[in-house]
Chain A
Amino acid sequence: MATPNESTMALSQPRVWARANIGGLLGYAAIWAFFAIFLIYPLIRLFYDAFTTDQGVFTLVNFYDFFTDSYYLKSLMNSLLLGVGTVITTSVLGIAIAFLLLRYEFPGRNLFSYLTIIPMIMPPLVGVMGFVFIMGRAGTVNVILMDYLGFSKPINFMYGIHGVLLVETLHLFPLMTLSIVDALGKIDPSLDEAAESIGSRGLRKFWDITFPLTTPGYVSGALLVFIWTFADFATPLVVGVDNLLASQAYLNIVQFVDRRLFKMGIVISAIMVILAIVFLIIAKQYVAIKDYSSLSYSKIERKKLSPWSRTGVLVFLVVVLVFAFIPYFGIALDSFGKGWALTPIPVKYTLRYFERVSIETPKFIINSLLYSGLTVFICIAVGVPVGWIMARTKVPGRDLLDSLTTLILALPGTGIGIAYLRAFREPLPFLNTALIGIWIVIPLVLGVRRLPYTVRGTFASLLIVHKSFEEAAESVGATKMTTFKDVTLPLIWKGVLVGSLYSFILALQEASATLLLVVPGHEMMTVGIFNFYIGGSVNEAAALGLILIILGAVCLFAISKIAGTKMGGVFG
């Protein structure tokens, strides 16, 4: 999330212009057109709606209403507090795990480094559902407490803002781990040794050396965690919390009765987008100095642990993982269990729910794969050139492109979903339907939302490939196209693939913008989960959720095989 170090850019401007051909220019223009139509215009439209009346007259009344309404203000406060709280809890877990995995040797380290990433694969709603099955008032834990241990009342683990915090923490700490692993991996161990040689140890060393060097990575991870929590409306709604900004935006938008509430939904989304931009700018203060050029990972000597500390580490990791895997147990049980209520585990089992969501209505899985596939296609078609432009050229507007891609990461899904709803509701030229009435809008919005991962992946890989390879090819007469195809691409495909797989997993799981934009008849798995859930068919929702989780785990496994430990790079 930073402007790359200037020293890595050797190409000077005149040369670019001299070589730029019409095709290149057109391509560059096409990329800008994509950004203009599918990112800038919807956001402008959102702000336009927020600052005007239904008649299109400029007004500040909407914002006045927001900031004088005690309920909205409380929601805003709650959202901010929840976001900060989640950043703190995920930091504690994430940093601890990152350090253990990176700096110490213990049995099962490799397995743990894969397992601790897994909780990230948790489609919204599925995580909280799984938690409620196990830790709800009638969940396994409480049933055991009451039926076997004599508790008279269930313990309230879930209902309330603490439940949201629990779910978000155990879902998002891997993001933090990844960011820290990435940042720590780039610190030269010689710095550590140097510090130690002059007597700086333990906390002192951490504070003086490690902390400042990992700050950029940490800040970007923290921002992602914050925004994710900030924009999630599904989790709070399941546990009965609706005084959060995202929940208010969603609830106001999906009701059609009261025009005024609908308008306030738009206004809340606009406020969320503005806040996200503000946070991004603040975060940028910290990461602007980040140096991409040291992307090559340094080799780290792992320390051996004494038997006691080894046991301690294992116990810690196992406990964290057991908690983080609670939703998987819950979802798995409920997807097979029939009429499960008030018993520790279901009494009757059936395959009926899987049959219903896969064989009887295959559209969920098919649409999910199709749309996510198209999303990856869009990500590659747009993202790889953007990554290349950022790494290899100095064309005007490059910095703006960089800022825009970063902005996408920070945009709350609810906000962009509502922006699309407002921006693309007029019928398209030559067609009778509006863009939001055609299914293609889903891959488009997903493509935009997941673009940064491909851009980062490409960018990071390109920086490792030295330009001299390309220059050598060009000096013997290869065109830019051939060079890219024969030299650059084979060298960077791994990075692009990893970025694309991330885009794929995250597209599969997206359920904020798409929930608002889904076209009836073209539902994907996440929408299916949501619709089944609110339609009262929790078991079907669980079955679909389990399928989605398994798909995600397979992709993640593929990534870890391809990328080794370098998984953090795309989040930078």
Chain B
Amino acid sequence: MKRIIVLLTVLLMGFLCFGGISFGQAIENELYLITPVSKDVHDPALKAFAEYAKKKWNIDVKTSAIPKGTPVAYGQILEWKGRPQADVFWGGEGTLFDNLAAEGLLEQVKIPQKMWDEIPATIGKPVGLPLKDPKKFWVGTTLEPYGLIYQPKLLQRLGVTIKDWDDLLNPKLKGQIAQCTPDRSSSSHASYEVILAMYGWEKGWEWLKKLAANTGIFTARSRDVPNVVAKGEFAVGFAVPSYMAFAEVLAGYDVMFVYPSNAYVTPEPMAVLKGAPHPKAAHAFIEFLLTEEGQKLFAGLGLYPITPKFKVQGPPGSNLEKTVQFTAGIRSFYDIQVGNVYDDKIAGPKKRIEEVNSYFRKEIAEKHKEIIKEK
């Protein structure tokens, strides 16, 4: 009897502590992200969510993002040890999310089953890139290819067209390519792995050395790549996330984007952290991003819907149509052949990452001048 009373008291206290705070309210009035996704995207997403919450529940949600690079964000979440100061982790590689789930630091995503089912499990052949976690600990939010950006006016002058990877090796492009190094940029790293997977280790590096021979600048940060191309300083940029390239279009520059075969496509995974201070808002945020409204928002920023039923389509001259124009006609990644050779089992382990980085440093970065002279 005594034991039951104790148990009941504990249950009641638990209920008061955890259930009581948001009792009767649809979502909490705060939401914090920790994310490597750039401000170009996370800012509009948070703003749109705040409007959505106001309309739907008449709640003013205060939102904020802690911008951190992927590894730093990951380290920070481990450091919080289940008492996070953010609600949602957004962006980066799926493996990191799997690791966090294994550590018990993620909560299962709560969205309507129909919405969940509408997202395909994987995209791309022969290796499927997972778009959601079968155990429901994370879900992809959008499709973001790491492709090539070019300056049409400069390419025309050079008499070059860019359709696929190999076009980058055209001798006419000597000194015209901008790229960031794989040890400073995750998009560059993933694209190096794609090349290595396509051609094999030896021939892949051969190819990458030829690319280096045409490379005029290794930028300090990946964000500089679309920047110098937009300005016309360099004609082509390698391994640029589509939204970064599109940000230049929105800023008034004339640039185009190419999605080359087998290019890496990230679903920008999202997960709710276990022990999140505002779990309901977190789940609502994910649900919002996967609605038509959310997917449209992404499409207006140079990203593609993750749900096959949505296509990028809007009134002429709208940002949605600009996205389509910018990729020379892609309206959905489910309409086109998506190849993928990037295998997380090969490219994911830390040892492999360091191996690629140090090979790059020894054989390309340190010998860049000689490579340019030889080729």
A binds B: yes
A240 nearest in chain B by CB position: B217
- Kindly state the separation between the CA atoms of A138 and B184 in the bound complex, as whole angstroms: 26
Contact, CB under 8 Å: B72 / A256: yes
B216 CB contact (under 8 Å) in A240, A536, A538: A240
A45 at interface, CB cutoff 8 A: no
B310 at interface, CB cutoff 8 A: no
Q: Mark B149-170, 1 if CB is under 8 A from A, else 0.
A: 0010110000000000000000
Contact, CB under 8 Å: A256 / B231: no
Contact, CB under 8 Å: B183 / A341: no
Contact, CB under 8 Å: A537 / B220: no
Q: Mark B192-228, 1 if CB is under 8 A from A, else 0.
A: 0000000000000000000000001111110110110
A329 at interface, CB cutoff 8 A: no
A159 CB contacts on chain B under 8 angstroms: 216-217
B221 CB contact (under 8 Å) in A240, A534, A538: A534
Q: Mark A57-81, 1 if CB is under 8 A from B, else 0.
A: 0000000000000110010000000
B361 at interface, CB cutoff 8 A: yes
A535 at interface, CB cutoff 8 A: yes
Report B100-145 residues with CB < 8 Å from chain A CB.
none
- Kindly state the separation between the CA atoms of A239 and B39 in the bound complex, as whole angstroms: 25
B253 CB contacts on chain A under 8 angstroms: 339, 341
Contact, CB under 8 Å: B233 / A136: yes
B234 CB contacts on chain A under 8 angstroms: 137
A156 CB contacts on chain B under 8 angstroms: 175
B30 CB contacts on chain A under 8 angstroms: none
B69 nearest in chain A by CB position: A256
A491 at interface, CB cutoff 8 A: no
A240 CB contacts on chain B under 8 angstroms: 216-219
B232 at interface, CB cutoff 8 A: yes
- Kindly state the separation between the CA atoms of A261 and B184 in the bound complex, as whole angstroms: 12
A74 CB contacts on chain B under 8 angstroms: 366
B71 at interface, CB cutoff 8 A: yes
Contact, CB under 8 Å: A255 / B184: yes
- Kindly state the separation between the CA atoms of A238 and B71 in the bound complex, as whole angstroms: 25
Contact, CB under 8 Å: A534 / B366: no
A341 with B251, Cβ < 8 A, contacts A240-B217, A256-B75, A535-B39 known: no
B230 at interface, CB cutoff 8 A: yes
Contact, CB under 8 Å: A258 / B69: no
B227 nearest in chain A by CB position: A536
A538 CB contact (under 8 Å) in B151, B183, B227: B227
A257 at interface, CB cutoff 8 A: yes
Q: Mark A152-167, 1 if CB is under 8 A from B, else 0.
A: 0000100100000000
Contact, CB under 8 Å: B244 / A138: no
Contact, CB under 8 Å: A251 / B151: no
- Kindly state the separation between the CA atoms of A240 and B227 in the bound complex, as whole angstroms: 13
- Kindly state the separation between the CA atoms of A240 and B177 in the bound complex, as whole angstroms: 12
Contact, CB under 8 Å: A138 / B365: no
Contact, CB under 8 Å: A339 / B218: no
The tally of residues in A whose CB lies under 8 Å from a CB in B reads 32
- Kindly state the separation between the CA atoms of A341 and B40 in the bound complex, as whole angstroms: 21
A136 with B231, Cβ < 8 A, contacts A339-B251, A536-B247 known: yes
- Kindly state the separation between the CA atoms of A534 and B232 in the bound complex, as whole angstroms: 17
A342 at interface, CB cutoff 8 A: yes
A238 CB contacts on chain B under 8 angstroms: 220
- Kindly state the separation between the CA atoms of A534 and B38 in the bound complex, as whole angstroms: 11
A494 at interface, CB cutoff 8 A: no
Q: Mark B344-375, 1 if CB is under 8 A from A, else 0.
A: 00000000011001000100011000000000
A74 nearest in chain B by CB position: B366
B227 CB contacts on chain A under 8 angstroms: 536, 538
Q: Name the distance in Å between B163's Cβ and chain A's nearest Cβ.
A: 23
- Kindly state the separation between the CA atoms of A137 and B234 in the bound complex, as whole angstroms: 8
A348 at interface, CB cutoff 8 A: yes
- Kindly state the separation between the CA atoms of A338 and B254 in the bound complex, as whole angstroms: 11
A539 nearest in chain B by CB position: B251
- Kindly state the separation between the CA atoms of A341 and B254 in the bound complex, as whole angstroms: 8
B24 CB contacts on chain A under 8 angstroms: none
A70 with B252, Cβ < 8 A, contacts A237-B220, A536-B244 known: no
A49 at interface, CB cutoff 8 A: no
A132 at interface, CB cutoff 8 A: yes
Contact, CB under 8 Å: A341 / B220: no
Contact, CB under 8 Å: A341 / B219: no
B221 nearest in chain A by CB position: A534
Report A539-572 residues with CB < 8 Å from chain B CB.
539
A402 at interface, CB cutoff 8 A: no
- Kindly state the separation between the CA atoms of A257 and B227 in the bound complex, as whole angstroms: 25
Contact, CB under 8 Å: B72 / A137: no
A242 at interface, CB cutoff 8 A: yes
Contact, CB under 8 Å: B231 / A138: yes
Contact, CB under 8 Å: A251 / B252: no
- Kindly state the separation between the CA atoms of A251 and B183 in the bound complex, as whole angstroms: 10
- Kindly state the separation between the CA atoms of A534 and B227 in the bound complex, as whole angstroms: 9
Contact, CB under 8 Å: A251 / B220: yes
B366 CB contact (under 8 Å) in A70, A535, A538: A70
Report A420-478 residues with CB < 8 Å from chain B CB.
none
Contact, CB under 8 Å: B218 / A71: no
Q: Name the distance in Å between B360's Cβ and chain A's nearest Cβ.
A: 12
Q: Name the distance in Å between B101's Cβ and chain A's nearest Cβ.
A: 21
- Kindly state the separation between the CA atoms of A504 and B254 in the bound complex, as whole angstroms: 41
B248 at interface, CB cutoff 8 A: yes
Contact, CB under 8 Å: A342 / B154: yes
B365 CB contacts on chain A under 8 angstroms: 71, 242
Q: Mark B246-265, 1 if CB is under 8 A from A, else 0.
A: 01100111100000000000
B153 CB contacts on chain A under 8 angstroms: 341-342
- Kindly state the separation between the CA atoms of A256 and B72 in the bound complex, as whole angstroms: 7
Contact, CB under 8 Å: A257 / B252: no
A242 CB contact (under 8 Å) in B220, B230, B354: B220
Contact, CB under 8 Å: A348 / B233: no
B233 CB contact (under 8 Å) in A132, A257, A535, A539: A132
Q: Name the distance in Å between A361's Cβ and chain B's nearest Cβ.
A: 12
Q: Name the distance in Å between B146's Cβ and chain A's nearest Cβ.
A: 16
- Kindly state the separation between the CA atoms of A261 and B219 in the bound complex, as whole angstroms: 18
B350 nearest in chain A by CB position: A257
- Kindly state the separation between the CA atoms of A348 and B253 in the bound complex, as whole angstroms: 11
- Kindly state the separation between the CA atoms of A256 and B375 in the bound complex, as whole angstroms: 34
A340 CB contacts on chain B under 8 angstroms: 231
A247 nearest in chain B by CB position: B220
Q: Name the distance in Å between A130's Cβ and chain B's nearest Cβ.
A: 13
Contact, CB under 8 Å: B223 / A342: no
A137 with B248, Cβ < 8 A, contacts A237-B220, A255-B184, A256-B72 known: no
A538 with B220, Cβ < 8 A, contacts A71-B366, A256-B71 known: no
Contact, CB under 8 Å: B247 / A342: no
A236 nearest in chain B by CB position: B220
B358 nearest in chain A by CB position: A258
B154 CB contacts on chain A under 8 angstroms: 138, 342
A261 CB contacts on chain B under 8 angstroms: 183
Q: Name the distance in Å between A538's Cβ and chain B's nearest Cβ.
A: 6
Q: Name the distance in Å between B33's Cβ and chain A's nearest Cβ.
A: 14
Contact, CB under 8 Å: B354 / A338: no
- Kindly state the separation between the CA atoms of A536 and B184 in the bound complex, as whole angstroms: 16
Can you list 12 A-B contacts (CB < 8 A)? A71-B361, A138-B233, A238-B220, A240-B219, A257-B71, A257-B353, A258-B183, A341-B232, A342-B153, A534-B220, A536-B40, A536-B244
List 9 A-B pairs, minimum CB-CB distance, nearest first: A339-B252, A138-B232, A240-B217, A237-B220, A342-B232, A341-B232, A534-B221, A536-B223, A338-B252
Given contacts A136-B231, A536-B224, 7 further A-B contacts (CB under 8 A): A240-B218, A257-B353, A338-B251, A534-B224, A536-B248, A536-B251, A539-B251
